[in-house]
Each structure stands twice: as structure tokens, then as C-alpha cells.
């Protein structure tokens, strides 16, 4: 069973995407780009839900991804990837395997797997007690509406593992789910 780490960008009012599903409101900068490289170098594979996969495959293999940062783009394109989807016929992005059920994640042989985006996959993994770490990049912006972070998750406790402030005003909060005893 791999160690599963979820990374999600959120607004101050708790949304992970704006009302049109966009992420353009997120605050980036050189420090965030360096952190992106750190995260990619730390993990053995990536895991996406179908919606996030669709956005990633339209961005990273294209010129826009390289224009954002060539180092991040080359890592995104080369790393082992998994997409959980019942509706995709194929997953054509380089080095990508298709998983039909979230339960198949447990059979992934990689040591560390990062979920970038994919709030619904993150929620499902938390419900199943499989998520090891939740990293929330809080962006200094209020959206007012959009896709609420971890929507549908029942009461779940987390322990703060660490914090990190970024020069652009973002704050990275790293949590670990509290495993109930008994």
C-alpha cells in the first residue's frame, strides 16, 4: 500500500475551484514553483480523478505547461500517473494507468503517491482511512462561490503536522488524519 498525500489549493473561504471550475485565482510565484518541484521529486507517482486528469492532460504535455515551468512540466509528463475513472475509455498521457475503482489504489506498488487536486478522490480516501497526509495551500483570496473543499465529508479530525508561509502570501498547512482507536 502506498503512502498517499493529497495537495489541494484553496481560497480563504474554503473553495478549491471557482464557480466555473477554474483555478486561475491561485497565487503562484517562484517559491511555489520550487515547492512544486520538491513535491514531484518526493513522490513516486501521481493519482487523479477524471476531472482533474482532463485538466492536467490538456495543460502539462502542451506548450502552456512548459511555459509555466519546464522543470515542473518535464516531471509531470515523466512521472508514473494513475487516473480513477469509470467513464474514460483510455488514459493516453505518457506513463498513465487507468483505475476503474478507488479500491484499486491500495494495489499501487509505488512508495509515495501524491493526489494533486481531485477533491472527490481525496474525500473518498479519507472516508476509507487511506489518506496519510493532507496538504492545503491557502491562497489569500476570497472567491464567494465555487466547489467547496472536501464537500460531503463527515466530521473528521486532523492533526496539524507543519506550516509554511510563502512570500506570495500563501500558507501551506499540512495535516494528518486522526485515526480513531478501537
Which grid coordinates belong to 59?
495543460
Residue 182 has pLDDT above 50, yes or no: no
**Per-residue confidence at 180, pLDDT binned at 50, 70, 90?**
low
Q: Are 72 and 33 in contact (CB under 8 A)?
A: yes
Q: Are 141 and 11 in contact (CB under 8 A)?
A: yes
Which element (helix H / strand E) includes 123? helix 119-127
* Mean local confidence (pLDDT), 102-111: 88
The per-residue pLDDT for range 84-104, each reduced to its tens digit, is 999 999 999 999 999 999 999
- The domains located in the chain, with CATH, are 3-177 (3.40.430.10)
Using CA atoms, how far apart are residues 92 and 162, in angstroms rounded to an integer? 36
The per-residue pLDDT for range 25-74, each reduced to its tens digit, is 898 889 999 999 999 999 999 999 999 999 999 999 888 888 888 999 99
Q: Which residue has the cell 498547512?
A: 173
Using CA atoms, how far apart are residues 17 and 165, in angstroms rounded to an integer? 21
Amino acid at each position: 500500500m502506498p503512502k498517499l498525500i493529497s495537495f489541494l489549493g484553496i481560497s480563504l473561504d474554503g473553495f478549491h475551484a471557482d464557480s466555473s471550475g477554474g483555478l486561475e485565482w491561485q497565487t503562484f510565484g517562484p517559491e511555489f514553483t520550487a515547492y512544486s518541484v520538491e513535491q514531484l521529486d518526493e513522490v513516486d507517482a501521481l493519482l487523479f480523478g477524471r476531472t482533474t486528469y482532463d485538466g492536467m492532460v490538456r495543460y502539462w504535455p502542451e506548450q502552456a505547461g512548459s511555459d509555466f515551468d519546464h522543470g515542473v512540466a518535464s516531471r509531470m509528463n515523466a512521472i508514473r500517473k494513475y487516473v480513477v475513472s469509470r467513464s474514460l475509455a483510455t488514459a493516453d498521457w505518457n506513463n498513465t494507468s487507468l483505475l476503474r475503482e478507488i479500491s484499486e489504489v491500495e494495489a499501487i506498488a509505488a512508495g509515495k503517491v501524491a493526489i494533486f487536486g481531485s477533491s472527490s478522490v481525496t474525500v473518498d480516501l479519507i472516508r476509507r482511512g487511506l489518506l496519510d497526509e493532507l496538504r492545503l495551500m491557502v491562497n489569500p483570496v476570497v472567491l464567494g462561490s465555487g466547489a467547496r473543499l472536501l464537500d460531503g465529508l463527515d466530521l473528521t479530525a486532523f492533526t496539524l503536522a507543519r506550516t509554511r508561509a510563502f512570500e506570495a502570501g500563501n500558507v501551506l498547512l499540512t495535516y494528518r488524519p486522526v485515526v480513531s482507536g478501537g
